Amino acid sequence: MSSLFTQIRLGQLPGHLLWDDGRCFAILTIKPINEGHLQLIPHEEVDHWDDMSPELTAHIFQVASTLSKTLRKLFPCEKTGLMIAGLEVRHAHLHLFPINAISDLDFSKAKDRADDAQKLTADKIRAALQEQGLTSVPAD
């Protein structure tokens, strides 16, 4: 059975797809720590991030860099945090989100967010990526 993330990518479950280049995709998390909190996920359903091939790992981190720079432009923050946990869904993924303090790297601060607010955030991120001329940005 496909992971929850794959089901979102395929449109079988609702979600806010921000990026899909055929090798990895990004979605907004359903319980963000801060606005703009997204997850970057390989298409390949690998449980442990360190089991990804070196080529896929390099690709994922290159995309993470692009997304991080976009988040920093859109959401006032000191840094973009990056975390790899992988306990909640057994499909390797990176969490990227705006942070202002080390205490922001705390999943206990994650909160449900209204879907209309999530849609506005997703639209904002996709528009910023499209303005950069990036072609891996799916339509709404």
Could you give the residue numbers annotated as active site? 93
H helices within the chain, ranges in order?
A: 4-9, 54-74, 115-131
Question: Which positions ≥6 away from 103 have C-beta within 8 Å?
Answer: none
Q: In one letter, which amino acid is 95?
A: H
Euclidean distance between CA atoms 120 and 128, whole angstroms: 12
Strands laid side by side in the 38-42 sheet: 17-20, 24-28, 38-42, 94-99, 79-83
Closest CA to 109 of 22, 17, 18, 31: 31
* 109 DSSP assignment: G
